[in-house]
Amino acid sequence: MDFTAFFSNYGLIILLVLLLVFMFWSSRRRMQKQKAEQEAKARQTIPGAEVLLQGGLYGTVVTYDADNLDQPAVVEIAPGVEIKVHSQAILRVVEPTTGFVTEDDFIEAEESHDEYVAGVANGEITSISDDHARAAADEATEPENKKPEA
């Protein structure tokens, strides 16, 4: 059978099948990419994260349930102004938050910082730059202090 005769008889069918396979492949790939993006957005959407809503409003997430998307999310759009929105109305996370600091954590960090500042002022704690300078000075004087062995 001649190639031109085969192509004239079955070429259109082969072309349509190839086009159909390409459409299914690209559609599946696009769906997988969208699913991965949704999962990444769900991981980043935690209380304290700044988000952009589909209406163009920016706000901070107060509550969000990534497991139950039918549950509305509560977003604070201004201090003291909280609105309920559909959880899928969150378009994207503007500033992903890896973990927000509670008030107790902040107070504890402040106290330890005050202790550090007081320790430096008393001379009990030295700064890192002082430690590096002292280590460099010790290394410079070490060869002089060592006596050659006989």
Read off the pLDDT of residues 34-88 as tens digits, 9 standing for 90 and up: 999 888 887 888 888 899 999 899 999 999 887 887 889 999 999 999 999 998 8
| Cα(5)–Cα(3) distance, integer angstroms | 5
What is the pTM assigned to this prediction?
0.45
Question: Does residue 146 have a pLDDT over 60?
Answer: no
Give me 142's structure tokens: 């070490």
Judge contact between 127 and 120, C-beta under 8 A.
Answer: yes
Dihedral class, residue 79 (left if φ above 0, else alpha if ψ from -120 to 50, else beta): beta
Q: For position 18, what pLDDT does the model report?
A: 95
Read off the pLDDT of residues 78-87 as tens digits, 9 standing for 90 and up: 999 999 999 8
Which helix (H) or strand (E) segment holds residue 87: the answer is none
Q: For position 23, what pLDDT does the model report?
A: 97
Q: Do you know the residue count of the chain?
A: 150
